[in-house]
Amino acid sequence: MDTDLDRNAGMKVFTSRQGDIYLGNVGDGLQKAIRSLEPSLVFILADDDTAQHCVPLVESLADTAIPPIVIASGDQHKTIDSCETIWASLVESGADRESLILNVGGGMICDLGGFTASCYQRGIRFAHIPTSLLAMADAAMGGKTGVNFGGYKNYIGRFENPAFIWTDPTFLRTLPRQETLDGLAEIVKHAIIGSHGLWETISTFDSPESMEWYQLLELNIPVKLHISDADPFEKGRRKTLNFGHTIGHALESHFLHSTEPLSHGQAVTLGMLAETKLAHLTGLLGKEDFKSIIDLILRLLSPCEVTLPTIDALRPWLQGDKKKSGGSVGYSLPDSIGNCRWDIKVEETLVRESLDWVNQVRKG
């Protein structure tokens, strides 16, 4: 991966095997990036929130007269049914294989839009314009697309890279606090598994409100790209990105249709607490790094106070995890700050102990 400063556009450009990732104001070159692809038609996909707050600016730069395709907000709408709605709109508007879809939204829209585009007429081009911190820091990068199925997270999907990604931190100005925490959870994860330098920078901040997002994204993007470029189809090292997500996805699925579903970031934060404890219980992670990780998560990510279910309640979701191989789930666990191992088999009794511990540690 190469990094350079595009002085004409006044922004940072990260070039990788996944395509260019721009870090800067959309007004400084988005129109040029779109035109360079020479699309026959440009479509915009958004959810209820981004259609109101972000699409008007993108729409003016995209120079498209086609009304945006709008999907209801929320991960519960990342489904095949939503794909069918999008496909029907594309057909009705005459989308062909030279068309381009701009996915304007958070991780849900990036996942859903990328998958929909990759299947339409066996694949048309798409670009991500992430508007949430979670999407900017993680979901938009790496070429993963997909939808939920049968209650399982991202169970149907493809690896497909966007034509480009445009990351504009100014979209974060009005982001609700919980959505900020959701994205910060992924940045913390990247620091724990792959960058001691990013960890040291995060550790200097007292709260999310004091953080400079351009600076953190500038440090975070290369970490995600380095890992996903080295292992694009998740056969080895890329599995480290699953830290916090094995238990996290199980929690997210468990609470998905409850009266108070967990956001992805809330579930991953709880998953990182539990899996950090697992790393310590298995002897991988030393006491000092264990304490440092737990202290930072508790201080900066404000883990929600929901009571974690028992291992018996989570077992169906863990056993259905798409990362399972050979009949058992392999965990990705840190062995130090900045390094992580993968495919670690863990006894269920330790998982039970870690869940109980998370319930206790948040009580003080």
Q: Which residues are catalytic, by number?
A: 122, 144, 186, 224, 234, 238, 242, 245, 249, 264
Q: What is the DSSP string of 16-77?
A: ETTEEEEES-GGGTHHHHHHHT--S-EEEEEEHHHHHHTHHHHHHHHT--SPPEEE-SSGGG
Give me the sign of the Cα torsion angle 20, 21, 23, 26: positive
* Cβ–Cβ under 8 Å, residues 26 and 79: no
**DSSP type of residue 269:** H
3-state secondary structure of 126: strand
- As a whole number of angstroms, the distance between CA 180 and CA 241 comes to 19
Number of C-beta neighbours around residue 84 at 10 A: 11
Q: Is 327 exposed, middle or buried (0-12, 13-18, 19+ CB in 10 A)?
A: exposed
* Cβ–Cβ under 8 Å, residues 301 and 188: yes
3-state secondary structure of 157: strand
- Strand (E) positions, the chain? 2-6, 11-16, 19-23, 42-47, 69-71, 100-105, 125-130, 144-149, 152-159, 164-167, 331-336, 339-344
Residue for token pair 């929909």: 116
Give the type of residue at 159. Answer: F
CA distance between the termini of the chain: 43
